[in-house]
Structure 1
Amino acid sequence: MKITILSGATRESSHSTSIAKRLEKKFYEIQEDLDIVLIDNRKLRLPVYDNFENLTNEEKDRLDAISGTFFSSDALIIVSPEYNGGMAGGLKNTLDYFRKEYEWRPMGLVSVTSGTLGGQNAMNQMAAFASYVGACLAPTRLMVSQVQEVVNHPHSAESVRFEKNAEKFCSDLLRFAQIIKNGMLNYSLVK
């Protein structure tokens, strides 16, 4: 099974990217034979979404590669920090370049915040986006509160809570993606 994790942060010292890497590790702990691709939005540096005519050939090539990765994935996970009460603007810009890649794609959502509410506003925006583009939104979502504690103090109560919640999130997402994959295979056989 192929899983793509898109870390949506744009700041250089991103805790969200640390969380994305920990999720990657957690997936491998649960199931060793996975193919996981981690896309770091900080490295993409895509221009503000306008249209494809204004893109350089290099930018078009990067977008084609990402599109291919999304299409070949059995599930897509989006990790977003909460910036000013919403999902990261740079992440939304990256997501806007694609559309068909999301249709019927199992999608897991992760919000990250330094506060105590787990990035609820970012989560709500991501869920609305996933619904709008026709993704299959996984029922289990991961909201990471007090991310500095989780990243910097691995034995803290927040970090222990994260590990427990991350394991459930990853296990549930794998199960959900397998159900969707099997269902889609059966559906295509019926058509």
Structure 2
Amino acid sequence: MPLLIPVILGSVRSDRQGIKAARFIIRHLEGRGYTAPLVDPLELKLPLLDRMYKEFPKGEAPKTLERLAELFRRADAFVVVSGEYNHSIPPSLSNTLDHFLEEYFWRPSAIVCYSGGRFGGVRAAMQLRAMLCELGMPSIPSLLPIPEIGTALTADGYAGAAWLNKTASRFVDELVWYAEALRRQRAEGTPY
């Protein structure tokens, strides 16, 4: 069965560049036969967090949260696409992630970060690593930073530079290794 790897996008801005990074990594994942649905906060329109999914009585959570919970429970890994806002992650990304908890447990995550400048969003990625670990989906060691995203990727998510495709290929290799290893371990049981 192919791996299921949801790609969680972090931006809702009208001129957002992160959608290009999401399309880019989805293309790399699907090109290898994996299922990589986009989780887009702009389409989800989640309210600011008041109650987590688990805090709703069974069957009473909003339909959007039910659909996401079902997807996340089936996932083998997650890719999180984050820009850098004031050296941190976008508020819409935090809001999307914070609606869930147990659905992430025992699954690896991988961070695709980007910025308009040369740092590629790595300062936000460092904060995101701590958050993802706390949520129960620790990130793989490698990052996929995309500097100068305005020119690095086309609107459809194609890379203009060969190095970016090569880096993405190695990044996916690493994520798949962790996803397959943890899939086997989950099948044998988890500590709780």
Residue 23 of structure 1, aligned match among 25, 43, 59: 25
Shift of 1:59: 7.3
The structure in which a higher percent of residues are helix is: 1
- For residues 17 and 155 of structure 1, the distance between their equivalents in structure 2, rounded to whole angstroms, comes to 13
Aligned residues of 2:153 and 2:159 also touching (Cα < 8 A) = no
Q: Which residue of 1 aligns with 2:124?
A: 122
Residue 180 of structure 2, aligned match among 175, 178, 181: 178
Unaligned 5+ runs, structure 1: none
Aligned residues of 1:141 and 1:169 also touching (Cα < 8 A) = yes
Q: RMSD between aligned alpha carbons?
A: 2.5
Residue 14 of structure 2, aligned match among 12, 16, 21: 12
TM-score, normalization by structure 2: 0.86
Aligned residues of 1:9 and 1:42 also touching (Cα < 8 A) = yes
Aligned residues of 2:24 and 2:159 also touching (Cα < 8 A) = no
Q: 1:115 to 1:180 in 2, by over 3 A?
A: same
TM-score, normalization by structure 1: 0.86
Shift of 1:126: 0.8
Q: Which residue of 1 aligns with 2:46?
A: 46
Aligned length: 184
Over the matched positions of the two proteins, sequence identity in percent amounts to: 26
Using CA pairs below 8 Å that are at least 6 residues apart, which structure has the higher relative contact order? 2
Letter in structure 2 aligned against 1:123 = A
Alignment pair present for 1:78 and 2:80: yes
Letter in structure 2 aligned against 1:136 = P
Shift of 1:12: 2.4
Shift >6 Å, 4+ stretches: none
Shift of 1:70: 0.8
What do the CA deviations read for 1:41-91 (whole angstroms, capped 9, x no partner)? Answer: 11111111122689xx99711011111111101011110111121111111
Aligned residues of 1:116 and 1:146 also touching (Cα < 8 A) = yes
Unaligned 5+ runs, structure 2: none
